[in-house]
Amino acid sequence: MKFGLLGARLGHSLSPQIHREVFRQLGIDATYELIEVPAEKLADKVAELQKTYRGLNVTIPHKVAVMDSLDHIAAEAKAIGAVNTVLFDNDGASGFNTDYFGFARLLEHNGLVLKGKDVCVLGTGGASRAVLQCVKDMQAKSITVISRVIENAPEDIQAHYTVRTYDDLQTLGGDLLINCTPVGMFPKVGVSPVDGAVMERFAAAVDIIYNPAETKFMKQARQQGKTTVNGLFMLVAQAVAADEIWLERKLDAGLIADVTDKIAKLL
């Protein structure tokens, strides 16, 4: 079986190592490749891959646009408005979102309870959509989304959440600050979407970036004694959920922690 990750620039990705480790542990003969494609060629590429691939993961910047190339969209992906997993079978091309599951497992694994909490999310892209839905379902008291320009945020996000700018963030605070932007991701490390003063007003920080293992965003929080979590556990958890869709079987929950420990040594 053939699988792959569809994105624009993928040199930083650990997805091949994660899925290959899962396949190894399960004794499955399968390949997983990085597939870079620009936005204007996305539809043609999906149609081409459907002929020989069993499934795809989808990442920046294609999680929303890929939906136009699919025959079916699962309920959770429709609600979120983004797809990160595609299954090719006799029914055509079906889209799912396992980022939601991955983020929920990350919170659970790190003992972060959001019910009744004030949460602030940086970014309005495909990953942000899954995180926002998860935070909402976990009954956070308030959810604020930070966008460079409020008017540029997707209309559905503006309709369902409080959207503010980075300038507004200078006076905001809360229980958890979540970075869903690519700022600080390898290879452009050493930068953060916020300054250290912002971190003073939040109790904990989650960065869904996993490479580097500690972004500047996380370092700013750690140096102030805040709880910090990176996105590696989320990445592995969503990958295992994607494998369950592709392989049509439930996998042992312990597989997530085991693979995370192995992949962490590569960072």
Reference 22, options 266, 254, 267, 264; nearest CA is: 254
Quick one: tokens of 107? 């919170």
Do residues 91 and 74 touch, judged by C-beta distance below 8 A?
Answer: no
Reference 237, options 222, 218, 216, 252; nearest CA is: 252
Which of these is catalytic: 45, 63, 117, 219? 63
111: left (phi over 0), alpha (psi -120 to 50) or beta: left
Quote helix, strand, coil % in the chain, to nearest 5: 40, 20, 40
CA distances from 81 to 27, 95, 118, 133 (A): 34, 11, 23, 10
Bridge pairing between strands 55-58 and 85-89:
antiparallel
Tell me if the bond preceding 187 is cis, omega within 30° of 0.
yes
- Residue 63 known to be catalytic: yes
Q: Which residues are catalytic?
A: 63
